[in-house]
Structure 1
Amino acid sequence: MEKLKCLVPESIKRMVGESSDEDLASTSSTLLHCLLNLPQFQQMIDDLADSKNSLCGKNKKVALELKQKGNESYLTAEYASALESYSQALRVAPMDAVDMDKNLVATLFLNRASLFHKIGFLTESLRDCKRAISISPTYAKAWYRRGKANVDLGNFKDAVNDFNNAKSFELSLDGKRHIETELNIILERQKSTSRMAVQENENCFGHFDEPCQLKLSQVSTPDKGRGMASQCDIPQASLVHKEEPYALIILKSCRETHCHYCLNQLRADTVPCTSCTIPLYCSEHCQIQAGGEPFSNFQDKIGTKESHSHSHGEYKFALCSDSNPIECFPEHKHECLGVNWPAILPSDIVLAGRILVKSTSQRCSTESNALCDLGLSHSYTQITPESKLELHMYAIVLLCCLQHSFGFELPINGVSLSQTIILISQIRVNSMAIVRMKSVDDPPDQFRKLTSVGDALTSSLEQVPVGQAIYKAASLFNHSCLPNIHAYFLSRTLFIRTTEYVSTGCPLELSYGPQVGQSDCEDRLRYLADKYSFRCQCRGCSQLNLSDLVLNAFCCVNHNCAGVVLESTIINGETRKLNNFPRAPEKQKFDSHLQGHKLNIVDINDVASLALKFNNSSLHIQPGFCLHCGTHRDLDASHEAINKAWSYIKRLQEAIISKDISGTTLLDASRALGILRSTLHAYNKSVAEAEDNLAQAFCLVRDFQSAREHCKESIKILQTLYDPDHIVIGYELVKLASIQLSLDDPAAVDSTNHLGLIFARYFGPHVDFIVPYQQFLKRVAHR
């Protein structure tokens, strides 16, 4: 794309860079005419959209090679390698490919099922057998293998049925006798056991439904335009909104680790797309919902004698445990042609393609003239000239790819391009990042097993973005750096829950990025302006708060003073907020409904009393002077000391990643922490980070007592920067509780109870689905 940009004449670049949303039809058609005359552009579209140039199509030869590699690894007990080979073979094998008179895909599913059975993954083995049988219903070995898995799972009734079918389809007399012998053994075992059968479920996710009966209203605010507000008083932890996505896409970084439909982490028995090699799914259910065909649809397409050699009436089996699939738009179907553009173009551009295809199908049914009218805000006029040119080019490339590969019935002209440009701009402003909870200590190995309680301890949690989606109604919730609602996801479904008591008429506001406590005011403003093209005016950015004062502050050189010393870059923003402090009574009354957080006036007076004593006309805050006692600190010398100390902390961070921590590294980092504490303010976030790094390091060398103390110190700082019951504190308490459990510290009970209350505040009754690890901590702590 960069090379193509260089070929665009400067006059057209300038015209596009100076354009407004009203000029888009003209500017986009001019650029389109220019690109269509470039051979390089035509070649790029061919590479992206012509199936002849595809790198994402099925390939029988490659599948057979991978199958052979998997077989060799299986025979040498290299099971991880065998699993990878079989799964990759399934990904590239054509659904109609035949190998040794058997459907190749069915054979691969059976081979992988045998591997799963060998390593004790019985439910995975059972599911793969079902998939093989769906494709080849008379596959005797698949019935036999499924029967063996059912026996080990205690499903004796199903096992008897499986072995009877295996016997019926087995052609050799020796094979039939062998199955008959095993069947008799199973019948005897069935009589002598009362073991409960274990049922597997193809559905990758299930959760109880929680009604959302609260009524919200759309309101208009003086600073933020339209937003959402409550029509009644809402208790803390109440579910206020639930929504399915209008369109969704997985992030490129998660394509190999998460299901491309539900976005949950992939299981070992991944399910490939039936037509291309791009997506992986956690179940056949998700594969079908995304637009793929059921495996059973390929029974009559194989054309081998096995397809019709037996009557289907003599056996019964369920092809899918999801009897009531959710009706949804097949979002991957138009991409499922083996072409390259869905794999190469940025995720937000592919998401725009899904929205265009979906809205076009709806337009045909409603006879609307608008290509895609989501009714969402955009920031086209505020973005840079370079970004405007990028949007123009991606819109042209996307429509050309859709038309070339999918037969998209839409003329590519100024009107369609202008609507596509606005759509991409809307996605960049309104799309939500779908996140999953992950333990940062979890290895990616599919075969990981906890060998002891200790292996699961000293863990920490983090939120990892896995997808991007448009939720049309949820886009009406405005931003605040001090939010009163929290968004989370179960599979594809968005849930929004209050994190504090919300009064009638109070705007309900999410955080679009860093919150108070995470970044200082200037960094938050810069992030929001760059990503969303607006200047935040929430209370966290317009009124004084303790967190922004201390987050990056130096301490006073007077050891008896708790005051803050600020740099010039921070002073500018804080001076602006001081001019608004305290605010006019009528405005303050409105904002008191907006947020439940306190201003911490007493704490602010402890660190910045001089600033509060000045009236607005005489306010002059100088860099390097304490805002409490006026003492001066040499900032240049302080920076030099901090940089030197931080070099030792960075060395420790590298050692943590490599898990090779020497005594010298630990000693140097501990001394560096002392320098940081004597130079930075006690509540500076860098001190908390250094404390946390030392806690991690001491865990790795199994000095849990030192780890516990450093973890406590880190949490103490974060509780000042955030609300004491903020979700960030919950994540940190997971670390502390796991360390305490390693020491058999009775205080682990209090830590697990506290983190449970915090997570319940943010996730309500869904907490066990979102943070299952907390249940493990509770069980061990209360043992």
Structure 2
Amino acid sequence: MGLFSFPFLSFCLFHLKCHAASLICYWKSTALFVMERLKHLVPDELKQAIAGSTCETLSVTCAGLLEFLLPLPEFQQVISELTDLEIALCRKNESRALDLKLQGNECFSKGNFTQAISFYSQALRYAPLHTESKDLNLVATLYVNRASSMHKSGLLEECLRDCNRAITVKPNYAKAWYRRGKVNESLQKHKDAIYDLEVALNTETTTSGKKSINQGLEILRMRVDSASMVEPSEYDVEVKDAVARDVSTLCVEAPTKGRGMASPNDIQPATLIHAEDPLAAIVTKPCRGTHCHFCFNGVPADSVFCPSCIIPIYCSENCLAQSTGDISYSNSAYSLARCNLSQDVLNHVADVISENGIRCKGVPEHKHECGGAHWTAVLPTDVVLAGRIVAKEMEGKRLSGVNYNLIDSLDLLHHYELVPPNERLELHIYAIVLCYCMNSYYKSDFQSTEVNISQLVLLLCLIKINSMAIVHVSSTDSLDKILSPSINVKTSCIEQVRVGQAIYSTGSLFNHSCQPNINSYFLSRTLFVRTTELVPSWTPLELSYGPQVGEMDIVERQRLLKEQYMFICECSGCSGLNFSDLVINSFSCQNSRCHGVVLENITLKILEDNSVQALVGASLVSNLLLPASGSDKSIEEVAHKLFQKSKIGSCIHPGCCLNCNAYLDLDSVNANLSEATLNMTRLADSLDRALDCLAKIKSMRHQHSKTVAQAEDSIAEIFVNNGNLEHAIKHCKMSIQILEKLYHPNHIAIGHELIKLASLQLSVCHAASASDTIKRVETIFSLYYGAHAAKLFPYVNMLRQQTLDYQTSCNLRISA
């Protein structure tokens, strides 16, 4: 039996046609199913050859695997299932669109407009663009139906955009012009409203419809004549923040890290040093239904869809055009010029229709994936991103006529020799599958040869090391809850969402540090890099790849960096003894008069080079160089024994205090700690018991451990839910004080926590305290985001304004 049996396909087809959301589980399971089945078929001898392959022998192993897989019916069926447009699971489906339209109509008739919008959006996802039935274009009808639902829901701007889309698809659609006119009337754009209703009147074919439109038009004209018609102005405020002109960054060779970025000039804090759009980018699978597949911003109610398949979703015509190419609509042959319309109205019609006529500025990144074939939905994100890079390079080759090596042209490292041997077979198989998927679009221009396949293997390695996660900052609570003192405020209101993955040609050259001196962030898909401290000339400009001092201990940082990026970090944060590394996951000493730390499962011993080597089990993790002189007093306080070289071998053991050498029973403490931590998560409605759990945690964990900080934050949220905001503020401050010890007072993590504190302070009308807290937030955010902070965190300005309003009202009451 083949990889996909007929009953399996029938089951999938049945469920896939029910709703787009049902695709997600299928996509994830099928990717694993494809890989594991193909891996199982490969003989052991070939597996061993691939596991031992090098860059020099890669083409040989790729050729051998391709020669083995090509005759297999299972492999041929996999490729057919992924690329054959005749059985494509992600094609448009008119009958499905009509069913969803009827469900939307039913919700609309019952007044459930939110649900109606959802059904109409799903119908638009499935609706073929070129479909005419009884002189009604399905896509145009769905846009108008969704516009009507949004009009009823008060989403006027979104409604207006949908009317424009319907008109662009079918310019003589009277209902679209009428709805647009009513929306412009609501927006007090009276001139546009009159023009819209005039077009609707002249394109309406029924007598009753003409009568209704004419009555509305006459009433609007009378209203305009009786009042001065002043159209509201529209302002598009753009936050400008240019890369500093007097700062240049250069690619240099670092002794221990290879290529990196540095500047020949001193760079002041908060200086924007780099901005870059990606070479290629792709939305993450969890965000496929909620974020635009081009700009990665959240999609509005009036989202738009790919005209040829049901996979992507976009926030606007502009993003649709950049991703798929030119927007092409099947306009009606009906000529509006035949109608009795003035030249002004005809110009107005032309402007409305041309609003959506946006052209792609670069290589359409989704075009080669389109048509309904679902390989982009099934294969892992890294593999699909590799396909987009290939597509861009193919287009460059077509325009220039130059045939060049893909990996050399990217000029980024791949480190194939560091890939674990057991992972190389998977890379080979994915490369072969991707090669055939790309061949289904490019045909003879991209043949499935061992050279192309080996290039794809290296490209997948390159993406693993060099790709960056596009992270957007969002609030987990609605803005009114953050700002309104009358509503309980959640203590966690900021989160970072990984919405995309991208390759940045220059951005990838910035090296990692667990104590970075630059910060990277994203507006839409554009990468921005800004200094967070004074950086002397030729000092390496380094950002965090994820792990940071204060966020996790050195053992965890080293493990993650080795697994993801295949290097052992030797940054300043990993080559010295950090206070946070000692206390972040430590236990407290059983001696109540001692502030020392007790470490778990870690053996420390002094080496001849005056360094401390941390061992977890039997594997080397890192070298922690002891301060030569002037050691940190906080480190000495919690780890006094580290500075007594004569006793280090006999006194430093798991469970022993690093300050006084008192012993702690780790098994017993761990059991009690797990119980207390688990109970705290279950006791949101029992404040007294939750406080008991907090006391137990604080008696076992070191006072500056991250566990205590998280427990204090949880207690603050419990107090919020119980309406006791004063106590919530107290525990929120305690949590922040611990984090300030683990990070530093101006770290961005502290800024996010201060947002919680400021919102709580405003909720209890502590305007002066809130004002001081907000000043700290603004200082930190300006350091990390510069002028972009206002765009990324608009609620900070709103918190500031609410504080000023409250202070003003207090002053007025005092003066009265």
Q: Same fold (TM over 0.5)?
A: yes
**CA contact under 8 A between 1:4 and 1:41: conserved in structure 2?**
yes
SS of 2:546's partner is coil
Deviation at 1:112, TM superposition (A): 0.6
- Which residue among 415, 431, 440 is the counterpart of 1:395? 431
- Which residue among 776, 781, 784 is the counterpart of 1:754? 776
- Which residue among 748, 754, 760 is the counterpart of 1:733? 754
- The amino acid across from 1:282 in the alignment is C
Cα distance in structure 1, aligned partners of 2:47 and 2:802: 63
SS of 1:298's partner is coil
Cα distance in structure 1, aligned partners of 2:422 and 2:338: 64
> What does residue 414 of structure 1 align with?
450
Deviation at 1:504, TM superposition (A): 1.0
Cα distance in structure 1, aligned partners of 2:488 and 2:229: 33
> What does residue 128 of structure 1 align with?
162
- Which residue among 666, 669, 675 is the counterpart of 1:644? 675
Q: Summarize the alignment of residues 275-424 of structure 1 with structure 2, pairs less than 5 Å apart.
A: 275-295=308-328, 297-299=329-331, 314-316=346-348, 317-319=351-353, 327-366=361-400, 367-372=402-407, 373-407=409-443, 409-424=445-460
Cα distance in structure 2, aligned partners of 1:734 and 1:180: 54
Instruction: Output one character per residue of 1:313-366: Cα deviation in whole Å (capped at 9) or x when no partner.
Output: 734223465898672210011111111101111111111001011101212333
Q: When the two structures are aligned, how many residues end up with a matched partner?
A: 748
Cα distance in structure 2, aligned partners of 1:361 and 1:668: 64
TM-score, normalising length: structure 1:
0.91
> What does residue 20 of structure 2 align with?
none
Cα distance in structure 2, aligned partners of 1:69 and 1:282: 24
**CA contact under 8 A between 1:153 and 1:198: conserved in structure 2?**
no
Cα distance in structure 2, aligned partners of 1:74 and 1:556: 65
> What does residue 742 of structure 2 align with?
721
Cα distance in structure 2, aligned partners of 1:648 and 1:425: 43
Q: Are positions 1:632 and 2:663 aligned together?
A: yes
> What does residue 608 of structure 2 align with?
none
Instruction: Output one character per residue of 1:498-534: Cα deviation in whole Å (capped at 9) or x when no partner.
Output: 0111111111001112100111001100000000110
> What does residue 802 of structure 2 align with?
780
> What does residue 4 of structure 1 align with?
38
Cα distance in structure 2, aligned partners of 1:200 and 1:237: 28
Structure 1: unaligned runs, 5 residues or longer: 586-598, 653-660
SS of 1:219's partner is strand
Deviation at 1:115, TM superposition (A): 0.7
Cα distance in structure 1, aligned partners of 2:112 and 2:166: 23
Q: Summarize the alignment of residues 698-713 of structure 1 with structure 2, pairs less than 5 Å apart.
A: 698-713=719-734
Q: Summarize the alignment of residues 238-249 of structure 1 with structure 2, pairs less than 5 Å apart.
A: 238-249=271-282
**CA contact under 8 A between 1:56 and 1:277: conserved in structure 2?**
yes
Instruction: Output one character per residue of 1:569-625: Cα deviation in whole Å (capped at 9) or x when no partner.
Output: 274796457862235x9xxxxxxxxxxxxx971211221222124379968622222
Cα distance in structure 2, aligned partners of 1:157 and 1:718: 57
**CA contact under 8 A between 1:274 and 1:292: conserved in structure 2?**
no
**CA contact under 8 A between 1:155 and 1:198: conserved in structure 2?**
no
Deviation at 1:453, TM superposition (A): 5.5
Deviation at 1:735, TM superposition (A): 1.2
> What does residue 257 of structure 1 align with?
290
- CA gap of 1:361–1:723, structure 2 versus 1, over 3 A, is same
- CA gap of 1:436–1:579, structure 2 versus 1, over 3 A, is closer
**CA contact under 8 A between 1:611 and 1:619: conserved in structure 2?**
no
> What does residue 812 of structure 2 align with?
none
SS of 1:466's partner is strand
> What does residue 744 of structure 1 align with?
765
Q: Are positions 1:59 and 2:59 aligned together?
A: no
Structure 2: unaligned runs, 5 residues or longer: 1-34, 606-610, 615-621, 806-816
- CA gap of 1:50–1:675, structure 2 versus 1, over 3 A, is same
> What does residue 232 of structure 2 align with?
197
**CA contact under 8 A between 2:558 and 2:569: conserved in structure 1?**
yes
- CA gap of 1:320–1:621, structure 2 versus 1, over 3 A, is farther
> What does residue 440 of structure 1 align with?
476
- CA gap of 1:209–1:680, structure 2 versus 1, over 3 A, is closer
**CA contact under 8 A between 1:522 and 1:570: conserved in structure 2?**
no
Q: Summarize the alignment of residues 181-196 of structure 1 with structure 2, pairs less than 5 Å apart.
A: 181-191=215-225, 192-193=227-228, 196=231
Deviation at 1:406, TM superposition (A): 4.7
> What does residue 253 of structure 2 align with?
220
> What does residue 487 of structure 1 align with?
520
Q: Summarize the alignment of residues 652-667 of structure 1 with structure 2, pairs less than 5 Å apart.
A: 652=683, 661-663=684-686, 666-667=687-688
- The amino acid across from 2:327 in the alignment is P
**CA contact under 8 A between 1:564 and 1:628: conserved in structure 2?**
yes
- CA gap of 1:408–1:498, structure 2 versus 1, over 3 A, is farther
Aligned-residue CA RMSD (Å)? 2.5
- The amino acid across from 1:32 in the alignment is L
Q: Report percent identity of matched pairs.
A: 43
- CA gap of 1:278–1:323, structure 2 versus 1, over 3 A, is closer
Cα distance in structure 2, aligned partners of 1:487 and 1:473: 13
TM-score, normalising length: structure 2:
0.87
- The amino acid across from 1:670 in the alignment is L
**CA contact under 8 A between 2:326 and 2:360: conserved in structure 1?**
no
Cα distance in structure 2, aligned partners of 1:160 and 1:673: 66
Instruction: Output one character per residue of 1:285-337: Cα deviation in whole Å (capped at 9) or x when no partner.
Output: 11011124325x3216xxx7679976997342234658986722100111111
Instruction: Output one character per residue of 1:49-94: Cα deviation in whole Å (capped at 9) or x when no partner.
Output: 0011111111111111111110010000112211111000001100
Q: Are positions 1:474 and 2:507 aligned together?
A: yes
- Which residue among 606, 616, 627 is the counterpart of 2:637? 606
> What does residue 72 of structure 1 align with?
106
Deviation at 1:636, TM superposition (A): 2.6
Q: Summarize the alignment of residues 451-462 of structure 1 with structure 2, pairs less than 5 Å apart.
A: 454-455=486-487, 457-458=489-490, 460-462=493-495
SS of 2:299's partner is coil
**CA contact under 8 A between 2:612 and 2:625: conserved in structure 1?**
no
